[in-house]
A = this chain, B = another copy of it.
């Protein structure tokens, strides 16, 4: 198992791959959740998405999101912390990520997105 998964450089990020990645409802939900977290800590663990499906399926989608350059994974012990590659994407495709997030937010209900109203996790 590689310590830190491979990510494309900023310049290697390709538009069709990004759009394809965002076209899957589960991946869109992941990105949306990460975008909401940006206001707070900007990072989430894989486990925080368990509501979206089985672990192995999520790992598959995480890999896709990494490969296309949408998010970055940082390994810390037995956890993986992931965040949006906001700056890279904004430089590469200005306005795109925001437009997608806003569009998703407009359809939050239809897309069954978790509305993160200043998420306070029970502990």
Contacts and interface: CB of A to CB of B under 8 A. Distances in A.
A38 interface: no
A114 interface: no
A94 B99 CA distance: 7
A28 B80 CA distance: 34
Contacts of A17: 23
A58 interface: no
A64 B28 CA distance: 20
A19 interface: yes
Nearest to A20: B23
Interface stretch (A45-53, A103-111, A115-123): A103-111
A17 B111 CA distance: 12
